[in-house]
Amino acid sequence: MTLSIRDVFSGRTPSLPIAYEADFRTYDFYGVRPFPAPVSVSGAVSNLSGVVSLDLTLRATAETLCASCGKPVSLPMEVPVHRLIVTALPADGDEEDELLLCPGGVLDLDETVNEAITLSMDVRPLCRPDCKGVCFACGADLNRGPCRCAPRVHPELAKLQELL
């Protein structure tokens, strides 16, 4: 979504509200498409004493798989976004990550929303904090109980087993 914020920069409009739904159905996160429903984007671009800022809240539910056991997981997300908007980067470039460049007064929100969603995604989502996963040998769900595999002893530690 593109948004003209020239009036906010000039001070004619102190605040410009933002409310739309971003389509993330084709968004790929490590082979999973976690957003079957749109991501809700709400917030505003504001000019407070000459400082122009973008404040957004992104709301969505990520539908993915547990990284330990593979069960489906629904993870509600609420991601706050705050960026200062500038028309040119400072000469030293130190704060480049915190600044949102908007040279022509037209703001493209898609890249900012995509970056915020990507950085907030859990790379190892779990169905529950104490998920035990599955047995690597037989595939049994260890959350339901122990598997029936014989205990494996590391070959380098087999001699220690004989001492018991």
Express each pLDDT in 14-67 by its tens digit. Answer: 999 999 999 999 999 988 899 999 999 999 999 998 899 999 999 999 999 999
For 143, the domain range is 132-164
Residue, of 53 and 104, whose pLDDT is higher = 53
- 101/24 Cα distance (integer angstroms): 23
Same-domain check for residues 118 and 107? yes
**E strand or H helix that includes residue 45:** strand 39-48
Q: In terms of pTM, does the model score above 0.85?
A: no
- Same structural domain for residues 143 and 106? no
Is the same domain home to 74 and 88? yes
**Spatial CA neighbour of 110 closest among 118, 121, 99:** 118
Q: Are residues 79 and 159 in the same domain?
A: no
User: Quick one: pLDDT at residue 155?
Assistant: 77
Q: Are residues 104 and 87 in the same domain?
A: yes
Q: What is the length of the chain?
A: 164
Our count of domains for the chain comes to 2
Mean pLDDT, rounded, of the chain: 90
The residue among 115 and 161 whose pLDDT is bigger is 115
153 band by pLDDT with thresholds 50, 70 and 90 = confident
Least Cα distance to 133 among 63, 64, 70 occurs for 70
| Structural tokens at position 84 | 């200062």
pLDDT for the residue 37: 96
Question: 22, 1 in Cβ contact below 8 A?
Answer: yes
Higher pLDDT, 38 or 100: 38
Is there a single domain that holds both residue 126 and residue 143?
Answer: no
Same domain, 137 and 125: no
Residue 57: Cβ within 10 Å count: 14
Q: Are residues 9 and 61 in the same domain?
A: yes
Same domain, yes or no: 96 and 136: no
